[in-house]
Amino acid sequence: MTGENLRRSGRRGSQRRGPDLGSEDSQTLAEVGEFGLITALSAWLPAGPRTLVGIGDDAAVLAVPDGRVVATTDFLIEGRHFRREWASAADVGHKAAARSLADCAAMGAEPSALLVALAAPPDLPVSWARELAEGLAAECARGGAHVIGGDTARDDHVVLAVTGLGDLAGRAPVLRSGAGPGDLVAVAGPLGHAAAGLALLEAGLTGDRLVARDLVAAHLRPAPPYEAGPEAAGLGATAMIDVSDGLLADLGHVAAASGVRIDLDSAALRPGDRLVAAASAVAGSRRHSVRTDPVTRPADAEALRWVMSGGEDHSLAAAFPAGTRLPPRWKVIGTVAGGHGVLVDGQPWAEPPGWDHFSAC
Amino acid sequence: MTGENLRRSGRRGSQRRGPDLGSEDSQTLAEVGEFGLITALSAWLPAGPRTLVGIGDDAAVLAVPDGRVVATTDFLIEGRHFRREWASAADVGHKAAARSLADCAAMGAEPSALLVALAAPPDLPVSWARELAEGLAAECARGGAHVIGGDTARDDHVVLAVTGLGDLAGRAPVLRSGAGPGDLVAVAGPLGHAAAGLALLEAGLTGDRLVARDLVAAHLRPAPPYEAGPEAAGLGATAMIDVSDGLLADLGHVAAASGVRIDLDSAALRPGDRLVAAASAVAGSRRHSVRTDPVTRPADAEALRWVMSGGEDHSLAAAFPAGTRLPPRWKVIGTVAGGHGVLVDGQPWAEPPGWDHFSAC
């Protein structure tokens, strides 16, 4: 009476088409059953060179020659983290993988494996599960990882719980707690794009009205710069974090863990034209809707808010010793000093910095 | 906008009382917030000697000196796998940990770590989360593991997704696929107890009417024989599985993966007096209820069905080369032969052997 680990009958190797499930697109999970789903998922998810035992047994076995394994787990819950009317199954697969693999990268590790627990309603189309698996596999390929196992269960909405495993390859893990006064603070990857994309979707600016497809894509399929994580570790990063809750909130975690103050320079964080245009479009759509929003900011202020407080970009923010020569993908946005908290141009930021799952509505 | 990994501010060590959350028993998750919950959970969950980086960063780092890590993930979903009116939060914690740690043991590994993803409604009492953590920590202690990380999110019911990590300590993993003709088949741990306990709960035979508290406990808090897993590997077990779907279903997986037939001897599987007494009590309660059940079996037949098809005992079933001298906790129940499937006294078993999450109602 339990959903077992994803199983398959011992085969392993390169990407394969799943077994013939008949006219799959019209079938549901209830029709193929738990074991039909598991057999299909295992065929859609290729094993990798470090997969010593993959899908198909009580547990997977992964090679971790470093002697340490980096491990993290993240939920992706329908209605909380994604909406099926906005996100394709492939989007959900990409995002579910990205969340956990970015956490591995933020420790300075190379992503190596995923375990995927999938709960779903019985009327979920099998085609949705297939596209989910394709998204998971594609994002794993971006990071150099493979799905090695998981679980299936029934629930009234889709719930994914994804565990990422990573390999430090001899490097020391980069914690949140190592930043020191004088360090540079830099970011690899975009800021505010995912928040802009979410605002565009919420404003109904989709389809023909979609002004910035890449921003919507940044929300639906964030593309973390995985290689920047081990790169930062190699450059001597003193602290690092995945920007998932928002820049100010996440740097606040670094400041608290390190016992330092982080001073940001707003000139380095000025939103680009596309973000401001998106903010204008969202504001315009609000003026033309019956909905009244109590907070209406100028477009450039709203775009700056996305940069400072928007979450889910899954970029990496890190502190480096002063004088570190950073590769071009790292943009310096501030410095570390004695004290506590995060200041912008020497002042506390006026917006509430974070997101709380249990109090937010 | 994401539930981050469980965090804490770098402290680590032995079991501690959580931070002062005021009159905690009357507080809800909404009142303490996500970060209050995470701080509390991290204080309730001790780190272990292999925890190089524990709760409190983007990801955990675990020492795995073997160079391989065993990894598995399992859901425990309210309304599907447990009911809060039957199971205490500590029960849920024990069971959530047991499911994943038993899968590690079934590979021949020693359990080493858990990652716990917890989704819950905002009105969940903080005291429930505290008791959950206590149950998780206590079951981890039974297995020699520690909670090293996790995630929190909001959902309308409690969802746990627990990842177990294990250490093979130089042993080859024991797969499902290695059983060969002539092998012995043996079981460590009880069979049918968890199914009997569930039937007692469903029949309302609780409280003063509870005829077999230990059987109910076997359902609410299965106690897998973790040490039997590495022990079996050391004895040369050719195949092993965690009995979670039911003995016949799980041995069916071994038979299919190994390409063999398994012959069980019903004399070795005869239910004990307590199981038969529980089946009588359940049947008696049915006769006195308005509910009519289309299947009413003699008590000994129902008890045998629990042994053969009941799930969630999380005992271990394994195949061993003929002549292996087994320690007392291993009970020989059959042999391996050429062919396929599982026979009982030379016949197919008449009951449907398994459980399917998507077709079962």
The per-residue pLDDT for B12 is 32
Contact A69 B61 (CB under 8 A): yes
| Planar angle of CA A147, A88, A200, nearest 5 degrees | 125
- Cβ atoms of A248 and A348 within 8 Å: the answer is no
Q: Does residue B178 form part of some domain? A: no
For residues A148 and A285, state if they share a domain: no
Tokens found for residue A215 = 């921003």
Relative orientation angle of helices A213-220 and A273-287, to the nearest 10 degrees? 90
The per-residue pLDDT for B15 is 36
| Closest residue in B to A96 (Cα–Cα) | B2
Q: What is the pLDDT of residues A178-237, one digit of tens each?
A: 999 999 999 999 999 999 999 999 998 876 666 688 999 999 999 999 999 999 999 999
Q: Domain range holding A282?
A: 184-348
For residue B118, the 8-state DSSP code is E
For residues B84 and B204, state if they share a domain: no
Percent of chain B exceeding pLDDT 90 equals 78
CATH number at residue B80: 3.30.1330.10
For residues B244 and B198, state if they share a domain: yes
- CA distance, residue A88 to nearest chain B CA (Å): 19
Predicted confidence band of residue A7 (pLDDT cuts 50, 70, 90): very low
Contacting residues of B for A246, CB less than 8 Å apart: 1
Tokens found for residue B260 = 């063999």
Contact B244 A2 (CB under 8 A): yes
Q: Does residue A81 form part of some domain? A: yes
Q: What is the pLDDT of residues A132-179, one digit of tens each?
A: 999 999 999 999 999 999 999 999 999 999 999 999 999 999 999 999
| Closest residue in A to B240 (Cα–Cα) | A58
Exposure string for A286-308, b = 16+ CB within 10 A, e = fewer? eeeeeeeeeeeeebeebbbbbbb
Residues written for chain A: 361
Q: Which residue has the higher pLDDT, B9 or A189?
A: A189
Distance CA A201, CA A82 (A): 11
Distance CA A12, CA A287 (A): 56
Average pLDDT over residues B269-288: 89
For residues B215 and B128, state if they share a domain: no
Q: Does residue B300 form part of some domain? A: yes
Nearest to B145 by CA among B169, B112, B115, B168: B112
Domain boundary among A135, A167, A199: A167
For residue A149, the 8-state DSSP code is E
| Closest residue in B to A244 (Cα–Cα) | B2
Distance CA A239, CA A224 (A): 18
CATH number at residue A252: 3.90.650.10
Nearest to A62 by CA among B168, B145, B230, B117: B168
Percent of chain B exceeding pLDDT 70 equals 86
- CA distance, residue A87 to nearest chain B CA (Å): 16
Predicted confidence band of residue B42 (pLDDT cuts 50, 70, 90): confident
Strand ranges of the sheet holding B239-243, from the earlier edge strand across to the other edge:
B239-243, B315-320, B184-188, B330-337, B261-264, B341-344, B347-348
Q: Does residue B140 form part of some domain? A: yes
Predicted confidence band of residue B157 (pLDDT cuts 50, 70, 90): very high
**Whose structure tokens read 């078993």?**
B349
Distance CA B198, CA B87 (A): 11
- CA distance, residue B243 to nearest chain A CA (Å): 10
The per-residue pLDDT for A38 is 85
The per-residue pLDDT for A78 is 97
* Burial environment of residue B330 by CB neighbours within 10 A (0 to 12, 13 to 18, 19 or more): buried
- Cβ atoms of B334 and B185 within 8 Å: the answer is yes
Domain boundary among A167, A194, A224: A167
Considering only the beta carbons, identify the residue of B57, B75, B117 that sits closest to A153.
B75
- Cβ atoms of B257 and A9 within 8 Å: the answer is yes
Contact A357 B58 (CB under 8 A): no
Average pLDDT over residues A258-264: 98
For residues A77 and A129, state if they share a domain: yes
For residues B202 and B141, state if they share a domain: no
The per-residue pLDDT for B27 is 92
Exposure string for B127-166, b = 16+ CB within 10 A, e = fewer? ebbbbbbbbbbebbebbbbbbbbbbbbbbeebbbbbbbbb
For residues B45 and B104, state if they share a domain: yes
Contact B57 A175 (CB under 8 A): yes
Q: Does residue B336 form part of some domain? A: yes
Distance CA B40, CA B311 (A): 34
For residues A217 and A245, state if they share a domain: yes
Q: What is the pLDDT of residues A283-323, one digit of tens each?
A: 988 776 655 554 567 899 999 999 999 989 999 999 999 99
Q: Does residue B274 form part of some domain? A: yes
Distance CA B87, CA A112 (A): 37
Distance CA A106, CA B338 (A): 51
For residues A34 and A131, state if they share a domain: yes
Q: Does residue A120 form part of some domain? A: yes
Amino acid at A116: V
Average pLDDT over residues A339-351: 92
Domain boundary among A142, A167, A192: A167
The per-residue pLDDT for A17 is 42
Contact B153 A80 (CB under 8 A): yes
Query: Over 90: is that where the pLDDT of B308 sits?
Result: yes
Considering only the beta carbons, identify the residue of B3, B7, B75 that sits closest to A3.
B75
Q: Does residue B268 form part of some domain? A: yes
List CB contacts of A104: < 8 A, sequence separation 6 or more.
A70, A72, A110, A111, A112, A143, A164, A165, A166, A226, A229, B58, B59
- CA distance, residue B63 to nearest chain A CA (Å): 4
For residues B149 and B215, state if they share a domain: no
For residues A156 and A189, state if they share a domain: no
Contacting residues of A for B35, CB less than 8 Å apart: 356
The per-residue pLDDT for B291 is 52
The per-residue pLDDT for A24 is 60
Q: What is the pLDDT of residues A94-120, one digit of tens each?
A: 999 999 999 999 999 999 999 999 999
The per-residue pLDDT for B13 is 34
For residue B198, the 8-state DSSP code is H
Count of domains observed in chain B:
2
For residues B215 and B316, state if they share a domain: yes
